[in-house]
């Protein structure tokens, strides 16, 4: 009779006696049991039983997954400035220090130090936002989807029991879906308002909005074309004209700006992106925008506009569920301070990248080429803004190009760069690996050079 394969498995105590297993710390016993259960399942499936060393190796692998953080710093050499998959906007040193400062201990998050009594977390951001945008009032929540949900939920409340749902009119071409399957119509439905689409995908006239107004209409809304552009045979009324129609009928004009911009983009050769101040001046009653895109701060959804509206937002039950934490408030406040001090181009990384001179980028690319050696070249290219900001807009840049060879694929080389600590993320076009210095932060060039030498096997 053949030996029972289950009996060949080592005991929990035997495995826990090994130094390489005990290295997993307090989690070792649970991980050993998981590895043994996996071994039993393998035997039951007719596969060969793993030996003790193989089980110990599996425990080490499980420990790495459990004990090492999966969220890691990476070097963004992709050339996409606001890269959603890589965490959107990197923060300024001042913002990082502000977040760390309030996280180390207690803070006056909701405490009025002058009066010695309860205060409001909204007070830490509102003065700067009012100054920078010209708004009467402001509130920030945890992202722009939350901002939209909160604003629409307040509008939905403005009806008597048994009445039809309040309506918000939007151009059919603006009922968009952005990253992660986020759809504007779905959020509107969740809030309790009824979406009324007008016009066509490419052409919406002012009269389309006027004809759609009913006694149930609460607002007209414009939505930023976050990650696409409609070109050619198009038509859309100005925000000012939309505001005139809305206010003639006693309605609110909402402007979901998406990225949200405080600086003029045209000065850098980019398409003109409407600033928050311009939107309010054109007649928007409420503007909503992100904190971690062109603003260059931590994740946030910022709402600015009429005081009467913002005060209702602050009192709404959802405001508590969607509110920002103390560290994010501190980081956003520090970021806004850069704009107040007129130092955003130098201190806010997103704007430092956008305004970087081409000759400085070229010098960095040439240094990388010398480190890479071989068939590496420096070529012309485009850096993309990304993150639902300025769709299809880019800036001229210089790229380090590493072509695919018979013994080296671009995919394999990219994978080796990502295996570096910290990982370096590049992009691939036409079987060529491309690295863009524009999106690599100051002080990170050394890491890129180390990663290139390791991936290519070149000497120092």
Where do the structural domains in the chain lie, given as residue ranges? 5-67, 75-83+351-456, 93-347
**% of the chain residues with pLDDT over 70:** 93
pTM given for the model = 0.87
> Looking at residue 450, what is its pLDDT?
96
Answer for the pair 21, 52: CB distance below 8 angstroms, yes or no. Answer: no
Q: Which CATH entry fits the domain spanning 75-83+351-456: 1.10.3720.10, 3.90.1150.110, 3.40.50.10860, 2.60.120.1440?
A: 3.90.1150.110
> Looking at residue 77, what is its pLDDT?
98
93-347 matches 75-83+351-456 in CATH topology: no
In this predicted structure, which of 10-24, 166-180, 370-384, 419-433 has the lowest mean pLDDT? Answer: 166-180
Length of the chain counted residue by residue: 460
In CATH, the number for domain 93-347 is: 3.40.640.10
Mean of the per-residue pLDDT values of the chain? 90
> Looking at residue 1, what is its pLDDT?
43
Banded model confidence at residue 66, pLDDT cuts 50, 70, 90: confident
Question: What does the pLDDT average to over 11-23?
Answer: 91
106-163: pLDDT as tens digits? 999 999 999 999 999 999 999 999 999 999 999 999 999 899 999 999 988 766 565 7
């Amino acid at each position: 009779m053949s030996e029972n394969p289950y009996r060949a498995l080592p005991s929990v105590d035997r495995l826990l006696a090994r130094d390489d297993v005990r290295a997993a710390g307090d989690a070792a016993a649970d991980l050993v049991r998981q590895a043994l259960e996996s071994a039993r399942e393998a035997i039951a499936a007719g596969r060969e039983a793993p030996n003790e060393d193989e089980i110990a190796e599996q425990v080490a692998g499980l420990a790495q997954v459990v004990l090492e953080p999966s969220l890691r710093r990476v070097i963004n050499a992709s050339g996409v400035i606001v890269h959603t998959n890589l965490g959107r906007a990197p923060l300024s040193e001042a913002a990082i220090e502000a977040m760390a400062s309030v996280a180390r201990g207690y803070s006056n998050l909701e405490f009025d130090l002058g009066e010695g009594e309860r205060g409001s977390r909204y007070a830490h951001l509102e003065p700067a936002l009012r100054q920078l945008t010209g708004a009467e009032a402001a509130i920030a929540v945890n992202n722009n989807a939350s901002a939209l949900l909160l604003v629409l939920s307040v509008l939905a409340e403005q009806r008597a029991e048994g009445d039809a749902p309040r309506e918000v009119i939007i151009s059919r071409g603006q009922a968009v879906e952005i990253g992660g399957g986020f759809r504007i119509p779905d959020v509107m439905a969740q809030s309790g308002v009824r979406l009324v689409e007008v016009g066509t995908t490419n052409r919406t006239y002012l009269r389309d909005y006027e004809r759609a107004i009913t006694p149930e209409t609460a607002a007209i809304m414009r939505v930023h074309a976050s990650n696409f552009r409609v070109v050619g045979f198009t038509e859309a009324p100005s925000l000012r004209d939309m505001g005139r129609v809305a206010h003639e009928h006693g309605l609110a004009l909402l402007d979901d700006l998406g990225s949200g911009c405080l600086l003029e983009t045209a000065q850098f050769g980019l398409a003109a992106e409407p600033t928050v101040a311009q939107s309010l001046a054109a007649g928007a009653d409420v503007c909503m925008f992100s904190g971690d895109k062109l603003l260059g701060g931590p994740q946030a959804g910022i709402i600015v506009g009429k005081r009467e509206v913002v005060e209702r937002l602050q009192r709404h039950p959802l405001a508590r569920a969607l509110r920002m934490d103390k560290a994010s408030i501190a980081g956003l406040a520090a970021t806004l301070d850069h704009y107040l001090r007129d130092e955003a181009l130098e201190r806010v990384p997103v704007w430092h990248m956008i305004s970087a001179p081409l000759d400085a980028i070229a010098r960095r690319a040439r240094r990388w080429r010398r480190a890479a050696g071989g068939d590496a070249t420096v070529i012309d290219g485009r850096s993309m803004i990304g993150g639902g900001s300025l769709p299809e807009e880019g800036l001229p840049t210089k790229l380090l190009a590493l072509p695919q060879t018979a013994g080296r694929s671009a995919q394999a080389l990219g994978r080796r760069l990502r295996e570096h600590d910290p990982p370096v993320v590049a992009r691939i076009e036409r079987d060529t690996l491309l690295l863009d210095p524009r999106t690599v932060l100051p002080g990170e060039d050394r890491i890129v050079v180390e990663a290139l030498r390791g991936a290519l096997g070149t000497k120092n």
